[in-house]
């Protein structure tokens, strides 16, 4: 029996991982207590995904476990032990704004929860591969110090800038404002690296930009592209927060991301870090995303602008995947931003 254990299994990345590895023939164990509903209310509820996964895949088992609960996690790991070949840790409190209001819970989920999982991996299945869904927010607002140019619909870097093709893993995570969310995720990120470098576990941190896909329960405080598409089309309006809507994000589809996990699982390393995202292949500003939706659907979206900027928010962030592609040259993007938005639109229940 080869088991894949996935935390946050009813979230975007988790559910995509469940589908992928179930189809590969693994026995998949999902850990998710739908805490996203507690964070974001009805918009964040992932119960519908849980029901769908249990119905679609007979080799999927679901456990409503809070990753802060070491005892319950210990019982789960103890039951499967060395049969666990892969852990994909995608459970998290994912919002800047929520973390600022509730820093204790944010840290307990993102930091302590990650430590719990690493300790149990070392104890029961030390030969397994451990993949941590990290974030580009570990770099804090250092990307905002880049010499950006304001254009009509976006901020942009000059082509001569060394980061023009994307921010790589050499950018410092120090001496900046992270947001409380960025801090708790940085702690988890560093722990994952240390369990690889110090204890010899096969571990990797995937520092993602904006991840999206049809299983995303996007909410106002988290899930940029999913929420933008859903809110703008169902309500006919969208509130743009900060930077005139010209802030740039790269967008990676959850399926493209899970294909990265698969590549790493087949050829793991110890304590590795990778920036992952849409890169120059798939990126947009908020304004450009809204304009693209209008062109595809033929609708006009009312836009309301708030001048305040969210703490730690990136003005421009495009990932460089040069390092990952060097290690795994057969991996390629499949989904552009246009293709992602078209899929999100087709999945909206009006």
List per-block mean pLDDT (blocks of 10 residues) for the chain, which spans 350 residues: 95 96 98 83 83 97 97 98 98 85 94 98 98 96 96 97 97 92 96 98 96 66 70 84 93 96 98 98 95 91 87 88 98 96 82
pLDDT of residue 103: 94
- 8 Å CB contact between 146 and 103: no
Sketch out the chain's domains with CATH numbers. Answer: 3-346 (3.40.50.720)
Position 224 scores a pLDDT of 67
Note the pLDDT of residue 232: 83
Apex 303 CA angle, 302 and 305, nearest 5: 155
What values do phi and psi take at 150, rounded to 5?
-90, 120
Longest dimension (CA), the chain: 57
Closest CA relative to residue 251, chosen from 233, 229, 234, 235: 229
Residue 169: helix, strand or coil by DSSP? Answer: coil
CA-closest candidate to residue 93, choices 16, 205, 214, 188: 188
Over its C-alpha atoms, the chain yields an Rg (Å, rounded) of 19
In angstroms, the CA 188 to CA 132 distance is: 8
Count CB atoms within 10 A of the CB of residue 41: 12
100, two tokens: 């600022």
pLDDT of residue 137: 93
Q: What is the DSSP letter of 222?
A: B
CA angle 221, 224, 227 (to 5 degrees): 80
What pLDDT is attached to residue 236? 84
Cβ pair 240, 305 in contact under 8 A: yes
pLDDT at 221: 45
Strand partners, 191: none
Determine phi and psi for 342, rounding to 5 degrees: -60, -40
User: Does the CA dihedral 117-119-124-127 come out positive or negative?
Assistant: positive
d(CA 43, CA 51): 16
H helix runs in 102-152, sequence order = 103-107, 113-124
Q: Is the dihedral of CA 185, 191, 196, 202 positive or negative?
A: negative
């Amino acid at each position: 029996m080869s088991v894949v254990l996935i935390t946050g299994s009813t979230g975007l990345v988790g559910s995509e991982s469940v589908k992928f590895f179930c189809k590969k023939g693994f026995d998949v164990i999902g850990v998710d207590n739908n805490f996203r509903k507690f964070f974001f209310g009805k918009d964040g509820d992932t119960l519908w995904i849980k029901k769908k996964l249990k119905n679609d895949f007979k080799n999927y088992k679901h456990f409503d476990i809070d990753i802060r609960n070491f005892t319950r996690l210990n019982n789960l790991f103890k039951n499967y032990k060395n049969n666990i070949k892969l852990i994909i840790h995608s459970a998290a409190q994912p919002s800047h704004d929520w973390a600022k209001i509730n820093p204790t819970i944010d840290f307990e989920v993102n930091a302590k929860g990650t430590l719990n999982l690493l300790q149990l991996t070392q104890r029961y299945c030390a030969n397994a591969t451990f993949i941590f869904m990290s974030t580009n927010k570990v770099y804090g607002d250092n990307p905002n110090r880049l010499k950006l140019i304001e254009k009509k619909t976006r901020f942009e870097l000059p082509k001569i800038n060394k980061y023009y093709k994307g921010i790589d893993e050499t950018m410092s995570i120090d001496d900046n404002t992270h947001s409380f969310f960025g801090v708790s995720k940085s702690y988890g990120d560093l722990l994952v690296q240390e369990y690889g470098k110090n204890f010899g576990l096969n571990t990797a941190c995937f520092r993602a930009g904006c991840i999206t896909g049809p299983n995303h329960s996007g909410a106002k405080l988290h899930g940029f592209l999913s929420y933008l598409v859903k809110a703008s089309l169902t309500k006919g309006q969208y509130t743009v927060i900060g930077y005139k809507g010209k802030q740039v994000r790269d967008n990676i589809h959850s399926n493209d991301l899970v294909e990265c996990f698969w590549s790493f699982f087949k050829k793991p390393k110890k304590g590795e870090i990778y920036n992952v995202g849409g890169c120059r292949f798939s990126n947009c500003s908020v304004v450009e995303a809204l304009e693209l939706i209008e062109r595809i659907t033929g609708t006009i979206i009312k836009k309301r602008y708030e001048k305040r900027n969210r703490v730690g928010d990136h003005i421009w962030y495009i990932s460089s995947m040069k390092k990952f592609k060097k290690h795994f040259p057969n991996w390629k993007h499949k989904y552009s931003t246009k293709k992602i938005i078209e899929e999100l639109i087709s999945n909206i229940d009006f």
